[in-house]
Amino acid sequence: MKRSAMELAAIATAAVPGLSPVGFAALSDDAEDFDSALLIDAQKHRWRVRSPRHDEASMRLEAELSALRAFSAKVRASLPFALPSVAGTVRQGSLRTFVYKDLPGRVPSLDELVDEGSRLATALGQCMAAIHQIPDESVEIAGLPTYTADEVRQRKLNELDTAAATGKVPSRLLRRWEHAMEDVALWRFNAAVVHGDFDEEQIQISQSRISAVKGWTDLHVGDPADDFAWLSAIEDQNFSERVFAAYVEARGKSADPHIMRRAALAAEFALAQWLVKSLDSKDAERIAEAEEMLQELDRNIAEYGGQPLSVVEAPRPLSTPAPTPAASPAQPTPATERPVMVPKSSAPTINSLKVTALGGNSPAAAPAAGQDSSDSNGPESSTLDNSKEQSTAAPGLKDEGQKPADDSKTGTAAQETGNQAGSAAPDGAAPAKESSPSDTDGNDSAK
């Protein structure tokens, strides 16, 4: 059931005692799975509300709560950014709505990230390195999934079999991905804590630095390359290289040399995973869109070849040339390669030519019942000045409306349902126990 921003504001007052919203705005935050809103109270503090639309989305929020509780004060202090702070929750039936203190900074666009230049690229690389250096025990204590490198590879191969069985994935792509997945050298890496849903929508920036990271619903131990896949949507390859260079410098010997190849594979393979999920949901429109995007990727690889994803080089994909009369003149040299950007939609955001470049050489190394509340050691709510979202219901706020969700984010640390779609994120996390008024994910008190 879809809930309006006004309804979410009413629910929030039950989740956080004393909260009295004076303004609200709808947010486009994984809109296919969640109803979300930004609230402002009389003290001009801001709050975010996320209400799951179905059981699978609810499990993701429960997993995030488990993750946030598992982050000790020492872990939080070691991170160069703020983490979400759960101020309260309230249950309606089988679903639980979460209220968070808003985080400092604003959500950037991809273009803005690139325009900010090397300083923000460096901050991104350092941010991702900090995530991957979180002790594995933080995830294990929370009961979230952990996978070895070999388990990650085997899961990918299983997902590839599922995608191939649809008969809708071009054979050239299946061969390309299978070669990479069977290249054992590519999968020699040390598993690490992985955000699992990292992209520009999960970060907030302030003064050319990463001020906060949110969206921890898919936290797990697995392949760090998954957190780099989103860079395929950035056309400026120099930016991606600067991010990775900063990451390597921050991680030192812990960074493996093939992480960007696996990131490129993850970005391409997300299209097949999305196709499988669309077929499972019997959504004809999304199925057709997924097929079209896979065909476009196949044509681009056939025309430009792309750099191999594997460490052991695979044969270059060949397109089938049209027959040409013997006396015909030579064909002109193709124009300079121009990446084809796939428009942002409910489908994965893939720059279908750039993903092949990523695989190349890396740089040098108001409910009736169920109220409960919880709080974390995260930062206090920020002021209006740093927010991207605003509302017409109060001065200084504007309703963003709902934008399509990104279905490439299909796997979660808390799901098993629907994960046959071949998500790159983990599944199977058990839901966290319902919190009581005394439960917290940190030490602060909701205000």
Chain segment 21-64, per-residue pLDDT in tens: 999 999 887 777 899 999 999 999 999 999 999 998 999 999 89
Query: How many domains, in total, are found in the chain?
Result: 2
Rounded to a whole number of angstroms, the CA Rg of the chain reads 22
Instruction: Give a yes or no: residue 46 inside a domain.
Output: yes
Number of C-beta neighbours around residue 302 at 10 A: 16
Average pLDDT over residues 192-200: 95
For 409, the token pair is: 């984010």
Instruction: Give a yes or no: residue 124 inside a domain.
Output: yes
- Are residues 233 and 310 part of one domain? yes
Domain containing residue 290: 110-314+338-358
Instruction: Give a yes or no: residue 420 inside a domain.
Output: no
Say if residues 425 and 218 touch (Cβ distance below 8 Å): yes
- Are residues 128 and 101 part of one domain? no
37: domain CATH number is 3.30.200.20
- pLDDT recorded at residue 342: 38
Evaluate if residue 257 carries a pLDDT over 80: yes
- Are residues 149 and 92 part of one domain? no
pTM over 0.95: no
Q: Which residue, chain included where needed, has tokens 């959504």? A: 283
- pLDDT recorded at residue 50: 94
**pLDDT tens across 374-391, in order?**
444 443 333 334 444 444
Instruction: Give a yes or no: residue 428 inside a domain.
Output: no
- Are residues 61 and 125 part of one domain? no
For 235, the token pair is: 């056309």
Instruction: Give a yes or no: residue 69 inside a domain.
Output: yes
Evaluate if residue 228 carries a pLDDT over 50: yes
- CA 200 to each of CA 106, 248, 428: distance values in angstroms, whole numbers, following the listed order: 11, 20, 26
Instruction: Give a yes or no: residue 447 inside a domain.
Output: no
- pLDDT recorded at residue 382: 37
Instruction: Give a yes or no: residue 151 inside a domain.
Output: yes
- Are residues 244 and 96 part of one domain? no
Instruction: Give a yes or no: residue 430 inside a domain.
Output: no
